Structure 1
């Protein structure tokens, strides 16, 4: 069993209105030292595979096929120990 952390974020240059709204709200609340931010998704997958490299490849394929919109989003998969 391998536990994989998948992180999905918008690609650079893609407008992120949600992050922009939260960023402005943080500044309005007095957190002016936050200069920029992005928002994304994280998920943890438990894959029934002991070979970590194979589990990563499976998670990446899941992202390409379903979990991420690869036109707008980038993803990263890493093993959680």
Structure 2
């Protein structure tokens, strides 16, 4: 085993691990907020927003995750949205 290699790159792996935990935390927090807002809209039966939320829920539940990720990665740049 090459301990020099491990010693050289371990700080980078620690930084990457911390970044991964931060991204996971913010993603979970954002999804909880969006879910709570959608729940309130469905519960209050707002006439304009309730069908939109229903369509969003059906789309996200009935589409495979890989297809959604392909759309985000390949489809959004075609629409002019750049994710960097």
Larger radius of gyration between Structure 1 and Structure 2: 2
TM range (shorter): under 0.3
Q: TM-score, normalised by structure 2?
A: 0.25
Higher relative contact order (CA 8 A, sep 6+): 1
Structure with bigger helix share is: 2
Q: TM-score, normalised by structure 1?
A: 0.26
Structure with bigger strand share is: 1
